[in-house]
Amino acid sequence: MKQAPILLVAYQCGPGMGSVSRIGWEWLTGLARVRPVTLLTHVRNRPAIDAAGPLPDGAEVHYIDTEWLARPLYGIARRLFPRSEHSVFLVSQCDYFAFDRAALRTARRIARRHDGRLPWAVAHVVTPVTLSAPTVLHRLGLPLVRGPLNCGLGDPPGFGHVLRQESRWLWRVRDLLKGLDRMLGSIAHTDALLVATRATAAAVPAQHRHRCIPMLENAVDLACFTPGAPLPRPGPDEPLAITFAGRLVPVKALDLLLHAMHRLNADGIRTRLTVAGDGPMRGPWEALARRLGLAAQVRFAGNLGHEDVARAMHDCHVFCLPSVRESGGAVLFEAMACERPVIGLDFGGPAEIVDDEVGRCIPFDGPNSAIDGLADALRDCAQRADAWRWRGIFARQRIVDRHTWDARIAAAEQVYDRLSHAPEAAARGTRPAPLAV
């Protein structure tokens, strides 16, 4: 028997539209397989949702149009920040605040069709994934879930020059929005805060942290990211094969990996790198590869679909994400699902995902120590290929055991059931104790 309906609110939602939109889409399709779902989402997501084909039975979608605000914001942001995609994204997404209020009106309109009764057991705001996007949906009177949220990440040590390229001051604007959250009472009226990282939990005011439930925001589609066959062992006739996937923007710090490869060349260790992704730093990083004598070893493949990214991961001994400010790290999960060991820096999302069982998480205090650590890890991978192959096997098993979308939905079901069975507590403004998820 299907469970009681859920009101799912996802400002970003749709396949093939970026990592956060993918999160909204996976929650919609996953939940709709186990219970009726009413989705409130932005009208800009409609083409991608329609193109994906029929939704599961029980899924109902309502589109909210705030393009009257989003379009001019995007135009202003493009003129103000022609070199920073991230800044353009932050400014242009400020129509979220109009969307959120429109979502409240839409939900109340739907309730009027049910004789004024709310037809849902719980309301769940799944995207955006930041505390800087407060919601007024608690005014519906339903138990409210937010997340998984991933925010609150500080500045990586020794990389102020990189953050300046990303219009760092805009990160401070997010801090100002916390004051708006307090005014709206969004966190105070949220029954369960799903938090992806320690930094996210620390960003929640101390008096509300008892409502935090750990849950990483990303997971893996095991049908797409399957185990790859082992490559021949690195040696004189077989270079160490490395894959990177992500937007080519300053914080991804691909230059650190290129410098580490240059050091391995000096040691007589052959490497090759496939770069899946595109962005404003592609030209500068291609030029750096040429200056370091790596042009023949590095292939810039451009943007790839999920199936081609999986193939690129199969065609490597190790996946490396040298990002200095990575709040999530979904590509690490994808590489692990492909049975590949992973390397990341000990900051943000990768620090929550990578350990010695599945690869190496590299501590750093600036560019030089990061390059040292990357070079050491790659050298060890080339010299102890069998040990690293086992790390890839362990990585796949960890994904299967913990990090599928079905596992995320099952964990959320526990939260919904607990909240929906404690309506009196919610009405009194008290909250049931958080679950260990």
Q: What is the signed CA dihedral for 306, 312, 314, 316, rounded to 10 degrees?
A: -150
Give yes or no for a contact between 75 and 43, defined as CB atoms under 8 angstroms apart. no
Give yes or no for a contact between 157 and 175, defined as CB atoms under 8 angstroms apart. no
Give yes or no for a contact between 42 and 66, defined as CB atoms under 8 angstroms apart. yes
pLDDT > 70 in the chain, percent: 86
- pLDDT of residue 425 exceeding 60, the answer is no
Strands (E), 55-94: 59-64
What mean pLDDT is predicted for residues 279-308? Answer: 96
pLDDT tens, 244-269? 999 999 999 999 999 999 999 999 99
Task: Report which of 70, 8, 80, 79 is spatially closest to residue 39, judged by C-alpha positions.
Answer: 8
pLDDT tens, 132-191? 889 999 999 999 999 999 988 878 877 766 665 555 555 555 556 566 666 667 899 999
Helix residue spans in 229-329 (DSSP H) = 254-266, 282-291, 306-314
Q: Which of 71-80, 302-311, 385-394 has the lowest mean pLDDT?
A: 71-80
pLDDT tens, 16-47? 888 899 999 999 999 999 999 999 999 999 99
pLDDT of residue 434: 43
Tell me the pLDDT band of 435, cut-offs 50, 70 and 90: very low
pLDDT of residue 173: 59
Tell me the pLDDT band of 69, cut-offs 50, 70 and 90: confident
Tell me the pLDDT band of 194, cut-offs 50, 70 and 90: very high
Domains of the chain with CATH codes? 6-219+404-428 (3.40.50.2000), 240-402 (3.40.50.2000)
- pLDDT of residue 56 exceeding 70, the answer is yes
Task: Report which of 437, 327, 409, 430 is spatially closest to residue 124, judged by C-alpha positions.
Answer: 409
pLDDT of residue 186: 87
Q: Which of 94-98, 136-140, 388-392 has the lowest mean pLDDT?
A: 94-98
**Phi and psi (nearest 5°) for 327?**
-75, -30
pLDDT > 90 in the chain, percent: 72
pLDDT tens, 203-248? 999 999 999 999 999 999 999 999 999 999 999 899 999 999 999 9
Q: Which is more confidently placed, 145 or 83?
A: 145
Sort 256 into a burial class: Cβ within 10 Å, 0-12 / 13-18 / 19+.
buried
Give yes or no for a contact between 309 and 245, defined as CB atoms under 8 angstroms apart. yes
pLDDT of residue 150: 92
Tell me the pLDDT band of 89, cut-offs 50, 70 and 90: low
Q: Which of 308-312, 314-318, 348-352, 385-389 has the lowest mean pLDDT?
A: 348-352
370/324 Cα distance (integer angstroms): 9
Placement of tokens 């979502």 in the chain: 103
Q: What is the average pLDDT score of the chain?
A: 89
Packing angle of the helix pair 85-92, 169-184 (nearest 10 deg):
20
Q: Which residues contact 212 (CB under 8 A, 6 or more apart)?
A: 193, 194, 195, 201, 204, 434
pLDDT of residue 174: 59
- pLDDT of residue 307 exceeding 50, the answer is yes
pLDDT of residue 428: 36
Q: How many CB atoms lie within 10 A of CB 58?
A: 15
